[in-house]
Structure 1
Amino acid sequence: MQFKLPVVFDNDCISSFLWIKRLDIIEFIFPKSEIIIPEVVLDELKMLESSARFNYVYNDLKHKIDSGEYILQPISALSTEAIDYAELTRMDNPQAIGKGEAAAIVLAKSLGGTLASNNLADILPYVKGGQPPYIMTDTILYSYYKEGKITITEGNAIWNDMKRRKRRLPPYNFDEVVKRMDCNSQNHNVI
């Protein structure tokens, strides 16, 4: 699959891989230097830092950023991105969305990259016309499968592990992801 780089991750998408300690999947699909983490997304995960049981979720991501493998991207004050971000999160906006989703959308647009988010309810009103293009956890895992790195059975195990960790994913299994994605790619080849 083709993606516009860089890839800007929202909390829910990067967390799918963080919670099960499988950042290697993301790193196989995307160059590490093209993985962008909005500063607000890291801040959202910081609450896990003091958890003895779950601090690895925050610490693993922080380590990737501190080592320069992933890029931490703030939104500069008074920038166009800051204005757009403020509009998307404004309390009196009837379509206000979460800070992580808003930051990822404005940065993906600004950088000309791809948004990685599972929260379709929040992002779809703001990605009209495919700008910025978006992907989800299932897209990434499917790409990993298409590269021959996992079987459908292994994909189901990963998918179910994510669900056990309370990741919000569609109710079906990974084999259904493969069927849907294969069908979708066949339909695009016909056009």
Structure 2
Amino acid sequence: MIEQIFFDTDCISSFLWVDRTDILLKLYGKQIILPEQVLDELSNPSVRHLTTKVNQLLSQNQIGTEKILVGTEESKLYYMLTRNPQIGQKRIGRGEASAIALAKTRKGILAGNNLKDIQYYIELYRLRNLTTPMILRNALLRRLIDETEGNTIWAKMINRRRKLPNATFTDYPESLK
């Protein structure tokens, strides 16, 4: 069975903003799932062009989408994450919460960047996690991009206010050592 990868809004947006969803499709293909709440967040009129790109990917069946149904384990977890978090934890966004709830209950992978908000839940639920830097590194290792192209993509993401852990893509693998 192919493992589903549940993307939160920030992670999928990193690639949408720089028009490089081709990297995601080559690496993960139909494993890519956007929770309905992520689609809702992307439907903001101020980012209509991102909605258009996502709708195109969906209409071509290149990615999938999932709903959280009321009364399910995932809906209870989603509610807890967004409305009634555990003591000492803050509420997280709908996109992050839906991706976490689906990844946990469907035994998938979480694609989320905001580790400050979600690291606790990644550890608590023992979720496998991908971040934008990890995805770019995987693309480099699979020779889908080279280091120069990785640096160009990284710089464009930073220009689009994506928060990345290093100034350049070249610095990222070094920071893992």
User: Normalized against structure 2, the TM-score is what?
Assistant: 0.91
Instruction: Select which of 1, 22, 30 maps to 2:28.
Output: 30
1:180 aligned onto 2:160: no
Q: How does 1:2-81 map to 2 (within 5 A)?
A: 5-31=3-29, 33-48=30-45, 51=46, 54-81=47-74
Counterpart-to-counterpart distance in 2, 1:34 and 1:57: 20
AA partner of residue 121 (structure 2): Y
Question: 2:58 is matched by which residue type in structure 1?
Answer: I
Residues 180, 91 of structure 1: alpha-carbon distance in 2 compared, 3 angstrom cutoff: same
CA-to-aligned-CA distance 1:15-51 (integer Å, 9 cap, x gap): 00000110000011102x2111000001001013xx5
User: How far apart in 2 are the matches of 1:92 and 1:74?
Assistant: 21
Structure-to-structure mapping, 1:138-153, within 5 angstroms: 138-153=133-148
> Is 1:108 aligned to residue 96 of structure 2?
no
Partner secondary structure for residue 37 of structure 1: strand
Separation of aligned partners in 2, 1:78 and 1:129: 22
Q: Which structure 1 residue ranges, 4+ long, deviate > 4 Å from structure 2?
A: 91-94
For residue 168 of structure 1, what is the aligned residue in structure 2?
Answer: 163
Instruction: Report if the CA contact (8 A) 1:13-1:118 is conserved.
Output: yes
Question: Does the CA-based 8 Å contact 1:98-1:122 persist in structure 2?
Answer: no
Report the Cα distance in structure 2 between the residues aligned to 1:5 and 1:150, rounded to whole angstroms. Answer: 24
Per-residue deviation, 1:95: 2.1
CA distance in 2, matches of 1:107, 1:153: 35
What secondary structure, in the 3-state scheme, does the structure 1 residue paired with 2:143 have?
Answer: coil
Q: CA shift at 1:92, angstroms?
A: 6.9
State how many pairs are aligned.
174
How big is the alpha-carbon RMSD for the aligned residues of Structure 1 and Structure 2? 1.7
Shift of 1:147: 1.1
Partner of 1:95: 90
Unaligned runs of 5+ in 1: 184-191
SS at match of 2:79: helix
The Cα of 1:130 is off from its aligned counterpart by 6.5
CA contact (8 A) 1:155 1:174 kept: yes
125-134 or 103-112, larger mean C-alpha shift: 125-134
Structure 2: which amino acid aligns with 1:8?
F
Preserved CA contact (<8 Å) 2:4 2:108: yes
Structure 1's 77 and 129: CA in aligned 2 closer, same or farther, altered over 3 A? closer
Q: Whole-Å Cα distance in 1 between the matches of residues 85 and 5 of structure 2?
A: 30
Three-state SS of the structure 2 residue aligned to 1:148 is coil
